[in-house]
Structure 1
């Protein structure tokens, strides 16, 4: 495909403006060596990431690395919309899918700090419908032995399964309360507190935020997280005046063609959104999400403003899945799961330094935060292909390979 990357100095100028307009993250791409990175290796990283676009695995990709609070690397390549050959812009808006989960988990833990609940509290204490749950045992349903606790919905051990895009499309028009109460009419897949199985349980976290705060989830996130951090391009429903910045989501067919799965003009994200999905409903930009990540990396503080205690984040980053049987995703012995994040819990791994954490989204988004390296790295695409291609593994390896020894 024709290369449409803006000249790097121009590209970084616009991104710098975006960050300064939101939360003052600074760009310093001229001195990557002083931050411990090889410029030559970063060029290789760009080349590899762009090759996926040239091979038509997806339409575009945006990558960034933040080191010591400075953006030392940013690359923007491909088309936001293929048929019109509209270039991807630095400020374009992406469906971040499950990268919503860490934000909503932080929101719920803000209420934990206020004494609204304890992690071991039974969920039915706040949502009575959870008191008489059943679990599927073969072809039969039986009453659960273990009541679902709040910690279970944060660490994916509550007994629920996974809902994909089509499952949510069937729920368009519901609000979060209706969605949760309808979903739990189905028997649980396993006994709560015994397995780790990736699920939609962060939707229940979102509903619990509503119950405990008295605010709808969108308003809570806006007032407690997005407005303080000036994350002005993160929301559940795309404002009409920003539709020209909304990327197209593609699905690669068997014939190799990229077909539109969700277009800005017909997207459910643009029309009267009522289901504020805590599991995957947010839209955001690379710059906005980096601000959220920097707040986490700095122990809950951003621009001298504290959103959450560092001790609470430390609690969230413990491996709370230790001892659970894993189903679905298999992390192995070197990674675990905290309260909203995957966490590297061993040294000497290919997954990053011990304590590295983050998550990704099924529409092609991914980030990791490495406290040892004081580093954040992220990419944004809009494609289902990234998991098949193991793009996250490739990107992570290239980032670490770019660090000078």
Structure 2
């Protein structure tokens, strides 16, 4: 009789997600709400995972990876991770620092001068400033770059700074940017047991890459994807990226540097206003949701929008990838479902 009761209890528990307060929502109910959100936000395809108590308890591909070919999003479908690349690259840099390969507080200029920056203040920029977005460099620029402020004094989001740091690391490692992913594979991907988790476009990923959409039109970024891009070049999906997030949370003592606040965001900062981010660590934004402290990063490449949020106290969170352009409204919808 006890065995029968236990089996029935297990069957009842299967297929449920717990919100941060412990309330239960069935997978079916959660999925229906996400599909409804996809329809309202014009999202063709999505890969999503939910983490409860340090484990992935829901992971699913929804919608279409390619509308014209009627290809569904599968477990093996990949997306451009866009700026979700940055936290992964941050961990890579921190590992290199632990090994003594790079000093986080040594000016990058001493490793690699940057001919595109004409502002002499850039010679103060360090790897720590890059990871915390305090370099003063613009988000993106090409030549004759001028800093927006003295390095280390303010927060200002910069993909340009991440590219500079990657070039410096390539030089330190005596490789080109085309080969830097090989070092990343050995330092991070293998330890985290992440397969097909690359900062370059491989043949396997290319065959399974979701088509990008801007509104209803397929779009394609023509950047060279054979070059290591730390700011937006990672390829991933909910399955692979959620493993990365779970490893971070479940081994906090090992990776705690990534969760310590470094700089507060000014009141008029666009990221603070749009995403409700109070401060930044070496890789993550700190977000207050209903009185809880959480860690966030989002990203957008042409035709892709992605986001994750983690709560360390509950070992709780989510990550999603979409093939929709500028679809940041999905973040708020998911958090309204899970942070209650």
TM-score tier (shorter) = 0.7 to 0.9
Query: What SS class does the counterpart of residue 279 from structure 2 fall into?
Result: strand
Q: Does 1:329 align with 2:288?
A: no
Match of 2:286 in 1: 343
Aligned-pair distance for 1:335? 2.1
2:324 aligns with one of 362, 383, 391: 383
CA deviation profile, 1:344-378 (whole Å, cap 9, x unmatched): 3xxxx426732x21311112111122111112311
Cα deviations by residue, 1:51-100 (Å, 9 ceiling, x for unpaired): 23334612012221122233222343211111122111122111001011
Runs (5+) with no aligned partner, structure 2: 1-12
Q: Distance in 1 between matches of 2:226 and 2:17?
A: 44
Aligned residue number for residue 165 of structure 2: 205
Distance, in Å, in 1 between the alignment partners of 2:51 and 2:163 is 30
CA RMSD of aligned residues (A): 3.0
1:180-233, CA deviations, whole angstroms, 9 ceiling, x for partnerless residues?
xxx464222332222211111222232233233334421111111112323112
Q: Give the secondary-structure state (helix, strand or coil) at the position aligned to 1:376.
A: strand
How far apart, in 1, do the equivalents of 2:242 and 2:229 lie? Answer: 21
CA distance in structure 2 between the aligned counterparts of 1:287 and 1:274, rounded to whole angstroms: 23
3-state secondary structure, aligned to 2:260: coil
Tell me by how many angstroms 1:327 deviates.
3.8
Ranges in structure 1 where 5+ consecutive residues have no aligned partner: 1-27, 136-142, 168-182, 253-257, 301-309
Taking the aligned partners of 2:133 and 2:90, their CA distance within structure 1 comes to 12
Number of corresponding residues: 319
The corresponding residue for 1:233 is: 196
Alpha-carbon distance in 2 for matches of 1:100, 1:111: 17
Residues 148-190 of structure 1: CA deviation (Å, up to 9, x unaligned): 2222111111122223xxx8xxxxxxxxxxxxxxx46422233
Give the distance between the partners of 1:117 and 1:159, measured in 2 at CA. 21
Whole-angstrom distance in 1 between the partners of 2:136 and 2:78: 33
Is 1:358 the counterpart of 2:288? The answer is no
Is 1:284 the equivalent of 2:230? no
TM-score (norm: length of structure 1)? 0.70
1:398 paired to 2:337: yes
Q: 1:31 to 1:212 in 2, by over 3 A?
A: same
SS of residue paired to 2:74 = coil
